[in-house]
Structure 1
Amino acid sequence: MLEEFKKFALKGNVVDLAVGVIIGAAFSQIVSSLVEDVVMPIIGFVTGGLDFSNYFFQLTGAAAPTYDAAKAAGATIGYGKFLTVGLNFLIVAWILFLAVRGINRLRAREEAKPAEVAEVPKSEKLLEEIRDLLARRPA
């Protein structure tokens, strides 16, 4: 049973999947930082200082100036953070779309290349000539 598990765990697909998950987690942090630290401040600047992270509906508790304070005070719906996460998703989806599209184009180029014709050995050429000569000989 241990040997069977080793075969399963060390298969190429399982290892590739593990590497993909680890890279995906690191990529997620990069995209989160891109959205929170670059894109959202630009959107806030263009829209006159809007800060999506502080968009919320407070359901219970005293009125609070920030999302974190409102969340600590009681039930709160933080739709601003949801907008940020949604933007994260759109950026990741767009980048993955571009990556898959590029890979598909590279594959199409490889498939479109003509197959290399292997050179026929000299002995086979001679045998073909002999065959052709024998076929032309009168019966």
Structure 2
Amino acid sequence: MFKEFKTFIMRGNVLDLAIAVIIGAAFGKIVTSLTEDILMPMIGKVFGGLDFSSYFVVLGEVPANLQGSTDYAALKKAGVPLLGYGEFVTQAVNFLIVAFIIFLLLRVVNRAVGMFEQEKAPEAPAVEPADIQLLREIRDELRARRP
């Protein structure tokens, strides 16, 4: 069983997947920072200058020690039911950024593969129509009969 597992792990696809997961995790942190530290503050400025991720609606009882609090993280940690639409918008922007970057990467890869395929495949000679081939054979036969 260990030998089968070793064979499975050493296949190229599994190693490629492991590398992709590691790079994806690091890329996710970069996108999260871009969203939370650069984009969302600008969007928050447009929508009133507040931290956009702290936009929420309280749906239940708030503990006495947190009455009047506008700290989304503290209320959430205390177990208060919240409709955190600001955090949802932040995550949606995160998703759109990742999806757009993946789209751009796939577009570049598809173009590169297309260019490679064009270079790799030699151009096949054009097939002559049958009547042209027949006429060439007749011409060659007539030339061969001449003294």
Range into which the TM-score falls when normalised by the shorter chain: 0.7 to 0.9
Residue 49 of structure 2 is matched in structure 1 by 49
CA distance in 2, matches of 1:114, 1:13: 24
Which 10-residue stretch deviates more, 17-26 or 78-87? Answer: 78-87
C-alpha change, 1:47 and 1:14, in structure 2 (3 Å) is same
> Do structure 1's residue 69 and structure 2's residue 74 form an aligned pair?
yes
Report the 3-state secondary structure (helix = DSSP H, G, I; strand = E; otherwise coil) of the residue aligned with 2:70. Answer: coil
Which runs of 5 or more structure 2 residues have no equivalent in the other structure? 124-143
Q: Shift of residue 68 of structure 1?
A: 2.1
Structure 1: 4+ residue segments shifted above 6 A: none
Would the aligned equivalents of 2:43 and 2:52 in 1 still touch at CA under 8 Å? no
Structure 1 counterpart of 2:106, from 100, 103, 106: 100
Report the 3-state secondary structure (helix = DSSP H, G, I; strand = E; otherwise coil) of the residue aligned with 1:113. Answer: helix
Would the aligned equivalents of 1:57 and 1:78 in 2 still touch at CA under 8 Å? yes
TM-score, normalization: structure 1? 0.76
Higher relative contact order (CA 8 A, sep 6+): 2
Residue 35 of structure 1 is matched in structure 2 by 35
RMSD between aligned residues: 2.1
Q: Shift of residue 73 of structure 1?
A: 6.1
CA distance in 1, matches of 2:120, 2:74: 66
Q: Shift of residue 116 of structure 1?
A: 5.8
Q: Shift of residue 115 of structure 1?
A: 4.2
CA distance in 2, matches of 1:52, 1:46: 10
Counterpart code for 1:67: Y
TM-score, normalization: structure 2? 0.72
Share of identical aligned residues, percent?
52
Matches within 5 A, 1:98-137: 98-113=104-119, 115=121
CA distance in 1, matches of 2:120, 2:12: 30
Counterpart code for 2:117: E
